Amino acid sequence: MFKSTIEEFNKQINTIVTAEENHLKKASNGINLCNKILSNLKEKVEQNDFETVPCEIDFFKNTKPLPMSYLIYFTEVRSCELRKPKAGTSYQIEFFEKEMKKINKFFYRNVDFVHYMEQGSTYLDHQFFTRNHQNNFPFTPMTEYYQYPEFSSSHDMQWAKVKAMYRFIHYIREAMQKLKVGNAILFDEKKHKVLLWTAPKTALAELIYALYSNGALNHGAADINTIASSFEDFFNIKIDNIYKTYSEIKDRKSSKTKFLEELMLNLQQKIHKEDE
């Protein structure tokens, strides 16, 4: 019921995220798209509701938090861009450091819930991601979007906020890097000079899209551009146009996941050889 809507959202949100525009413009476009998609999902839920409890859990755990997390993220980015000091590097650095402290406080306040989700637990899903336990688990006051009773569980907004904050961390990190803040001290991310990616770049694209498709990074909140940028930093490589490379991979006549299949085969052979 929601598959086509989410597929279209993923396509459009990737276009917005990778566009050569400033953060305010991206945020504005992102907020408009997210509002449109969430209104569409709300209408579908009101018209059809859910056939089973597992369907309801899946919606509030995996479907709604996707556009909701981007709405929260873009709202935070827009607020940040409007409030940050217009001049003075030291003032801007101080501003972003305060934003990072707010994020850390959010994760500290929600440490039990984040741990539950990180562990892939499901034993509380009926309480967190259905609409039957709203009285026991009140809404978080800091998130007021789309909290209509028929369109909210007790923790879908909380989960969306967690996913949004992972993206927001990346935004702040990039902003601080542009200000040339002591990267080695804050993030220690430039010390991996000994690691170089020596396989073909198409192989790296396969790996990136596999991790993205599996939601293996930042609880599925990391987009393709974020993952690619992180791999560029870590492996000291420039990925020219990962979307074009992905299109070429899909157009292959032979195996479309050649590198991933080789990885799996080589690992299985290694394990088998060692067991012998």
Q: Looking at residue 3, what is its pLDDT? A: 84
Name the band, by pLDDT with cuts 50, 70 and 90, for residue 117: confident
Are 141 and 270 part of one and the same domain? no
First vs last C-alpha separation in the chain = 49
* pLDDT band per the 50, 70, 90 thresholds, residue 267: very high
Please give the residue range of the domain that contains residue 276: 192-276
Going 78 to 79 to 85 to 91, the CA torsion angle's sign is negative
Residue that finishes a domain, picked among 186, 213, 246: 186
Q: Is the dihedral of CA 47, 53, 58, 64 positive or negative?
A: positive
Of 186, 216, 246, the last residue of a domain is 186
Which of residues 162, 186, 210 is at a domain's end? 186
Residue 77 contacts residue 173 (beta carbons within 8 Å): no
Question: Does the pLDDT at position 48 exceed 70?
Answer: yes
Measured over all CA atoms, what is the biggest interatomic distance in the chain, rounded to whole angstroms? 66
Tokens linked to 193 = 């000079």
Q: Are 156 and 264 within one domain? A: no
Quickly state the pLDDT bin for 145 (edges 50, 70, 90): low
With residue 56 as reference, give the H or E element that holds it: helix 53-58
Q: Is the pTM for the entire model greater than 0.85?
A: no
